[in-house]
Each structure stands twice: as structure tokens, then as C-alpha cells.
Amino acid sequence: MAELSYRDAVAHGIAQEMRRDPQLVMLGEDIAGAGGVFKTTVGLLDQFGPDRVRDTPISEQAILGAAMGAAMTGVPVIAEIMFSDFLAVCFDIVANEMAKSRYMTGGQMSVPVVVRTANGGGSRFGAQHSQSVENWCMMIPGLKVVAPSTPADVVGLLAASIRDPDPVVFFEHKSLMATKGEVPDGEVFDELGKAKTVREGSDGTIVALAYMVPRALEAAERLAGEGISAEVIDLLTLVPLDTNAILGSVAKTSRLFTVEENPRLCGWGAEIASIVAHEAFWDLDGPVVRITTPHIPLPAAEALEDMAIPSVDRIVATVKENLD
């Protein structure tokens, strides 16, 4: 068992899979000699050489166009888009080409591409470099969507994503890069579509993703000190979505809170609220409560960004208010 930072876990997970599959290649801006803008690919050029770890021009369309073309010929590709905000530049390739190729060829063609991208706020990068855009991809049939919160989950879910025959968008949270955690020795592989109950509870369920998971856990610890037992679920993947884990927890606790970094309108929590209202209405003792960022561009100013993104204080206050 080794302790790794989140960013080092990304490089560790990629290296594990590149050793396993000699065909696997990686494309992106400054990923080779520079080791990536967030230092998530340090050392990979030295280990695997310039034919497999390739720097690209500053062109998201070129990166994903090349990745898709290679994948269509049977070469699995990891493609890095530096900031998830820039998926907007190349979203036609993601949503209209990669996601639909298997369907439109009647299953004759797969596109084994993992689009890695740095996501989310909390790092003072401003409105165009801080968005949480998981819901952009969640709504597209044919895409899988992954967003781990711990180094161990980074490694295991990277392995699952890379081995998947279809396109996966893999969100790495910028504000988790320096966090550390233990990663098992040997090969690490997790299954896509399996949420984790990271804290047991009985009074209410808090569902969170990525950067919001440690905040939900801290909130649950504070709530426990006030006599409230909160269960915390780390979704890990939005597509496939582990509805069984959510519904099972709600059946036990009878209340549901979602903690979402995305803007409120059309966030992933709205879909979960809809599912629970339809499939577990009679298990609920009160309405599903969503704790989100407001529907605004994320501010760059430190105090304003901190006000916008769900905080531990806001999670605690909202849970208490709705359970009283």
C-alpha cells in the first residue's frame, strides 16, 4: 500500500495500463516533457517514449480528431483536454462522432478513447477555467462519465475506463490534485457504475461527487456531533449511474440531499431527484434537497468563489434545517 497524491495517482494509473497494453497511446498539450499543466503525466515520456506519449498543438479538435481516428483503427487512446471548459471547443467530436459511432455502425465499430480533463472550481481560475461540466456529458447517449474523489479511485477507474471499448470522459478535479490517499499495491481495477457508501448513517443520505465528497464527509462528521447520523455516498460515475446504491440508502434513511458543484439548473442532482421521486417516493419523509452552486458564472475572486461553491457550513446548515 503506497500513499500517493491525486495527481500522482493519475500518472500511476496511466502507467499501469500502458504497461499492460503496448498499443495504448496518449495525446495532449504539454503532456510529454512538461508532465502536464497539472503535473499528472510526469515521468510517462521517460517510461514509454515519444511514440506513445505525444505532445500536440493547442487544438482540442485536433487532439480528439486524431484520438478518434486512431481508436477507429483499433488503437486505444488517452486524450487530454487541459481544462474541461474547453470541451465546448470540440464537443461535436465528443457528442456527435465518438458517442454515436457504435450505434450508427450497428456495433461494427467501437471508439476506445478516454478523454481526460481537469474539472471544477476552488482554484481561482475564473469563469472560463473553473466550470463543473459533468452534466454536459451525462446527457449524451453513448458516453460514460467518471469523476473520482480519491487517489485509489483514480487508479482503479482509470483502468476500467481505458479498458472500456467505448468513449469515456474522465473528470479529474483540479482542487483535489494535492490531496493524498493510499493506493493498493499491484494492479488496481474498479468497475464502472458502482457508487461507494463512504460513511454509514441513518437520518439522511448525502450524495456527492468528486470535490464535494470530502466536504460531504466533513459535514457528516460535524452533524454527528449534533446527533444527526448522515450517510454519504460517493457516486464515482454518473454514467453508468448506480441507482441501486442511491435507492437502497434512501430506503434506509428516508431523506436525500445532493451536493453538486455544478450550477443548479439541469445539474446531475436533478436527475437523481427525478429518479428517487419516481421509484422511491413512498420511502421519502420529505422532499429531495439539492445543495448546489447558483446558476451563475463562477467568480474568480476568492471570497465570491467560496460563497458560490457548496461549503461544509452550507451543507451542515441545509441538512439541519431540513431535518428539524
Give the neighbor-by-neighbor strand order of the sheet with 237-239: 53-55, 25-28, 77-83, 113-119, 168-173, 144-146, 237-239
User: Treating both helix axes as pointing N-terminal to C-terminal, what angle do 312-323 and 212-224 enclose, rounded to 10 degrees?
Assistant: 50
3 state SS for the chain: CEEEEHHHHHHHHHHHHHHHCCCCEEEECCCCCCCCCCCCCCCHHHHHCCCCEEECCCCHHHHHHHHHHHHHCCCCEEEEEEEHHHHHHHHHHHHHHHCCHHHHCCCCCCCCEEEEEEECCCCCCCCCCCCCCHHHHHCCCCCEEECCCCHHHHHHHHHHHHHCCCCEEEEEEHHHCCCEEEECCCCCCCCCCCCEEEECCCCEEEEECCCHHHHHHHHHHHHHCCCCCEEEEECCEEECCCHHHHHHHHHHHCCEEEEEEEECCCCHHHHHHHHHHHHCHHHCCCCCEEEEECCCCCCCCHHHHHHHCCCHHHHHHHHHHHHC
Mark residue 156 as left, alpha or beta (left: phi above 0; alpha: psi -120 to 50; beta: remaining). alpha
* Catalytic residue chosen out of the listed positions 129, 173, 278, 295: 129
- Concerning whether 295 is annotated as a catalytic residue, the answer is no
Active site residues: 129
